[in-house]
Chains A and B, each alone.
Chain A
Amino acid sequence: MPHWARREGRRNVTSETTLVEAKGLVKTFRDFWGRARVRAVDGLSFSVRQGEAFGLLGPNGSGKSTTLKLLLGLLRPTRGVLRVLGRSPRDVRAKARIGYLPEESYLYPFLTPEETLDFYGKLFGLSARERRRRTDELLDMIGLVHARRRPVGDFSKGMARRVGLAQALINDPDLLILDEPTSGLDPLGCRQMKDLLRTLARRGKTIVLTSHLLADVEDVCDRVAILYNGRPCAEGAIADLLEERRRVRITLPADDAAAVARVLEAARAALGAEPETDHPRKDLETFFLEVIARARAGALDASGAAAGGSVARYLAGPDAPPAAPAEVPTTDPNEKLRRLMAPDAGPPPSP
């Protein structure tokens, strides 16, 4: 179980319904003459249940993106069975429930973010009123309200990626497929992306993603499969894969050195071994976000992406609280403790 899930009381949201099922998936790329050149995916089997966040990990060329393209129907498997939302990935009824964020921006450079979202909204058959509402909320969420009428072609990679994310969410998808979702985003954007994915997961959305950034995957995913040369090398729940069940870590306040020494002495006596001690370190992302939060207090208008608002209301669900700025984690240990001790928020609203 990811640490954020433990912290926020998110669990038991996965159902027995399988949204993605791959059995013995093989994808061989052939040359012009039909000769097999590369076997990008080789005997991959996995399933993703509703409400689960599933990560595909692996080095470059391990078959992650190929697997996603198979899920999206952009490639056809050479062998094996693949069902997405109970149908062929090429079935438009399945596509209607999928949101896809590619690794690169494949947006039309001549369209503005507003027009981009409106166009993709039309493809999903949304009414004009609904398109307007969702466009407004998504633009607010990705922090591009001020740039809604600038062509996407003029955007930085990070800004274009935010628009790409918004288009992936315009249909409020049941299954979100993300190829390197934090690629090209600044740390704030990464954080917002992860917050968003957590929110969506809380609502019972199913997420399949690939990433090179292992920390991101760890933060977001329930389960991962690690690929190498197109073959699965490891698969399972992150908690099961990473947890060292033979060791226990205790974190103590360091204010009272004598008290700490007594605890360590007691541990030595009880276990017959020397406990390892160190000072916990905040990670660089947390530190960066603190600096940005301080800087934002006197922020000036910027031409790039703004900080971004809260998750769009239609994505957050009907019971979502009123809009609030993106969460910046605190380093105050007491605050963390209060959060951990807070009563469980209960199951997420149904989608």
Chain B
Amino acid sequence: MKRVLAIAALTVRAAIRSRVLAALTALLLTAVIGLPLTIRGDGTAAGRVQILLAYTMGAAALVLSISSVWSGCAAISQEIRDRQMHLLAVKPVRPLDIWLGKWLGLTAMNAVLLAFSAAVVYGLLEWTARPAAIGAEERAALDEEILAARASARPDETEFETATREQFQKELAAGRVADGTHPQEAYRAFRHLRRVQFYAVPPGALREWRIRLPVAPTPDRPIFLRFRFAKSELTPAAVAGQWFFGTGDQARLTTAGEWPPDAFHSLALPAQPLVGEREIIIAFGNADPSGATVFFDPDRGLEVLMRAGGFAGNFARAGLLLLVQLAFLTAVGLAAGTLFSMPVASFVSISLVVLMKLSGYIGEMAGQRHYFAEAGRTGPGVALADHLLRLVFRGLRAALAPLDLPNVLDLLASGRLVAWGSVAGAVAIHLALYGGLLAIAGAAVLRRRELGLPS
């Protein structure tokens, strides 16, 4: 460990002496202070706070992400190029010690820079929400909806899934699935259609959903319903309707109103009637006189939010999650820099990062059975090409899916809980599992690589 710490300290010292740290600090300061001045918000305190959390902190995270990959690529590849690695490799230091030392040094540097950015953003938040700048009511709304850690819950789809599968089996048995269609593809399409129906409310109808609450409501813990819908008519006119909330079969609260489509709406519900309940029923009655069907977005269109903690803790957890992501990016850069020269390592690392960002698309493609055949190509090699491509997409999906993390700054800006579980999960997956694999791979490459080859 002494050797790892010595190499880590050397890495930090290199960043300080080469003025990389100073340049990054200046860049972060410019981003954190300059960016809010260039973005026009909605004029409200909530809008300004959300800009600080989503955009300003996002810009800092982007700068640090790029620098993590870059410095990771440079840390070992440059030392191999400049032969400083010769002196290091002939000392009694294991390749894994070298790798871990570099990683630890760069991650420590990232931690300091991230803490600096977060401190400045936090200071700006306090300044924006200071009593002299906003009224008590606005401050209270901020505290309830953004400067909070709200746990979220979505409708329970267990019964829906069971019913859909049973229904599909019946359709299959009745021979109502088109010939040549793979059952999995047919089921996917069938489920998608049923899910849209599960979240659709025809005119004059009432649809209800069951939601398990993440924490039991208390009198001082209001519940927020956040919803967004589209409607079957292409007019922006608001849709009239009524919300019902309750437990069992009893609706205890109702709220009537009109809400425009394609926008997020939030309803605050007093928690008193639901105190102690862990499961509630919500229902929407479509009373729109124009006869439009309402479609709630199946993924993000219907959720209940409840306060589960304070903002400071949430902000700290979000920072930890960002740091884990930066540490992972550093590991990616380091592993690439161990194997390749700086330009190639940068290209490889950035390609990997882009692949990770495309995980949604890759997941979709992995679900398909045909690619070339679907594009109308025929021939003896098409089936084989489809098969190979499917294997590639599935392999990528399997490798990348565990790395998928929610956008932590979006969570923060919408006042959602960044749970300790998410942080622990990211530490386990990003650092322990994937970071560990990258470390082992990097150390193995460093052990195998002949550093003394003529350049």
Which A residues have a C-beta under 8 Å from some C-beta of B? 29, 66, 69, 72-76, 90, 92-93, 95-96, 98, 100, 102, 104, 106-108, 110-111, 115, 119-120, 122-125, 151, 167
Contact = CB atoms under 8 A, between A and B. Distances in A.
A250 B90 CA distance: 48
A120 B91 contact: yes
The winner among A90, A107, A108, A123 for most chain B CB atoms within 10 A is: A123
A100 B90 contact: yes
A123 B91 contact: yes
13 contacts: A29-B453, A72-B86, A74-B452, A75-B450, A92-B93, A95-B90, A111-B13, A120-B87, A120-B91, A123-B6, A123-B92, A125-B92, A167-B87
A94 to B, nearest CB: 8
Contacts of A125: 2-3, 92
Given A69-B452, A72-B452, A111-B13, A106 B86 contact: yes
Contacts of B450: 74-76
B109 to A, nearest CB: 15
A125 B445 CA distance: 25
Nearest to B448: A76
Given A66-B452, A122-B6, 5 more contacts: A100-B90, A108-B14, A110-B17, A120-B91, A122-B2
Given A120-B91, A123-B3, A124-B92, A108 B10 contact: yes
A93 B92 contact: yes
A95 B17 CA distance: 29
Contacts of B88: 123
Interface in B75-99: 82-84, 86-94
B79 to A, nearest CB: 9
Contact of A106 (B2, B82, B94): B82
Interface string B1-44: 01100100010011001100000000000000000000000000
Nearest to A30: B453
Interface string B440-455: 0000000100111110
Contacts of B6: 119, 122-123
A90 B93 CA distance: 10
Contact of A95 (B13, B14, B86, B91): B91
Contacts of A107: 84, 87
Nearest to A72: B90
Tell which of A92, A98, A111 has the most Cβ of chain B within 10 Å: A92
A245 B13 CA distance: 60
Interface residues of B, number: 26
Contact of B13 (A75, A110, A120): A110
Contacts of A119: 6, 10
B91 A73 contact: no
A98 to B, nearest CB: 7
A120 B89 CA distance: 11
B455 to A, nearest CB: 12
B452 A96 contact: no
B18 A110 contact: yes
Most chain-B CB neighbours within 10 Å: which of A69, A120, A167? A69
A106 B83 contact: yes
A122 B3 contact: yes
Nearest to A38: B454
A106 B93 contact: no
B87 A124 contact: no
Contact of A74 (B14, B86, B93): B86
Contacts of B87: 100, 102, 106-107, 120, 167
B17 A124 contact: no
Contacts of B89: 73-74
A68 B174 CA distance: 79
Contacts of A90: 447
B119 to A, nearest CB: 28
B448 to A, nearest CB: 9
A119 B94 CA distance: 16
Contact of B14 (A66, A98, A110, A120): A110
Task: Give the one of B10, B87, B454 with max A CB within 10 A.
Answer: B87
Contacts of B94: 92
B75 to A, nearest CB: 13
A104 B83 CA distance: 9
Interface in B83-127: 83-84, 86-94
B312 to A, nearest CB: 38
A303 B146 CA distance: 62
Which 8 residue pairs of A and B lie closest in terms of their CB atoms, listed nearest first?
A74-B452, A69-B452, A110-B17, A122-B6, A96-B92, A92-B92, A123-B91, A75-B452
A107 B84 CA distance: 6
Contacts of B90: 72-74, 95, 98, 100
B131 to A, nearest CB: 48
A66 B450 CA distance: 12
Contacts of B91: 95, 120, 123-124
A123 B93 contact: yes
A155 B390 CA distance: 59
A106 B84 contact: yes
Q: Which of B18, B90, B447, B452 has the most CB of A within 10 A?
A: B90
Nearest to B3: A123
B93 to A, nearest CB: 5
Contacts of A92: 92-94
A245 to B, nearest CB: 41
Contacts of A75: 450, 452-453
Contacts of B3: 122-123, 125
Contacts of A66: 452
Interface string B316-344: 00000000000000000000000000000
Contacts of A96: 92
A174 to B, nearest CB: 13
A100 B83 CA distance: 13
A84 to B, nearest CB: 11
A29 B450 CA distance: 11
Nearest to A71: B90
A150 to B, nearest CB: 13
A213 B217 CA distance: 86
A73 B452 CA distance: 8
Nearest to A111: B13
Contacts of A122: 2-3, 6
A100 B447 CA distance: 19
Contacts of B453: 29, 75
Contacts of B86: 72, 74, 102, 106
A243 to B, nearest CB: 36
B87 to A, nearest CB: 5
A29 B283 CA distance: 75
Nearest to B89: A74
A124 B453 CA distance: 25
For A90, A111, A119, the residue with the greatest tally of chain B CB atoms inside 10 Å of its CB is A119
A133 B87 CA distance: 22
A5 to B, nearest CB: 28
Which one of B84, B86, B92 has the greatest number of beta carbons of chain A within 10 Å? B92
A251 B307 CA distance: 102
A284 B94 CA distance: 46
